[in-house]
Amino acid sequence: MGKCGITLFSFLMIVSVWGCGYNDLQGVDEDTKAAWSEVINQYQRRADLIPNLVATVKGYAAHEKDTLEGVVQARAQATGIQVTPETLKDPAAFEKFQQAQAGLTSALGRLLAIAENYPNLKADQNFRDLQSQLEGTENRIAVARKRYIDRVAEYNKMVRYFPTNLTAKFLLHLEEKPNFTVADEKAVAKPPEVKF
């Protein structure tokens, strides 16, 4: 009976852990998708703010053509790449998305740096409001990205750990998902050039 009990117990444990892995994997998979939707959502929000911002800056600094066009182009590029939760598995598409958004971030950084040279623009109520909204959105993007990073880390762990990796591989055909990289953060964190 003793041996029998142990066998039974191990059987119970293995089956339950394996069985729960199925639901848990589905759960974390959904979580990553939800987190990704939030990231997209916030990036979209930023893109929506830009036309107004560009128009406002144009009113005071129309001759800063290069910077203004740079922002418009970067925005077009960023909004042109659609990454749905389903295509999220593709690391190349993810990379492209990340690069386009990073490009827009640095173009925006240049635009705001230029604004420093125009006291009238800086004092403009409309511009200040847009700037507050932009800051708020950047912060939300940071939060959404952090949540996505956490979710994907959790998901990738489950996809790789034994025994859930078996469930992931043979039953659900789930693969690791790409995550945001620090290399991109470095590019973003590079301060824009300020000309005096």
Partner 1 sequence: MSRVWRAAARLMLCLGMVFVAASAWALDVPPLTGRVVDLAHVLPADVAASLTSDLETHEAKTSNQVAVLILPSLEGEPLEPFSHRVATTWKLGQKGTDNGVLLLIALRERKLRIEVGYGLEGTLTDLRSAHIIRNEIVPRFRDGDLPGGIAAGVHAILGTIEGSYKAEEGPSAHVRHSQEPSTFQYVLVGIFVGVMAGIMLSHGLQYTRALVGSALAFLVAQFASIVLGVVAAGITAFLLWLILQTNRGARGRRGNWGPDFISGPGGFGGSYGGDIGFSGGGGDFGGGGASGEW
**CA separation (Å) from 64 to 19, 60, 118, 148, 194?**
61, 10, 11, 36, 13
CA 96 to chain centroid: 12
Size of the site for partner 1 (CB under 8 A): 31
- Listed residue (144, 136, 139, 120) closest to 56, CA to CA: 120
SS3 of the chain: helix, strand, coil, percent, to 5:
80, 0, 20
Query: Quick one: 20 or 76, whose CB is closer to partner 1?
Result: 20
Query: Quick one: 5 or 191, whose CB is closer to partner 1?
Result: 5
Number of Cβ atoms within 10 Å of the Cβ of 65: 10
Stretch 106-135: interaction string toward partner 1, x if CB under 8 A: ----------------------xx--xx-x
Residue 4 binds partner 1 (CB under 8 A): yes
Residue 13 binds partner 1 (CB under 8 A): yes
Residue 185 binds partner 1 (CB under 8 A): no
Instruction: Note the residues at the interface with partner 1 (CB under 8 A).
Output: 1-2, 4-6, 8-9, 11-13, 15-17, 19-20, 23-24, 38, 128-129, 132-133, 135-137, 139-144
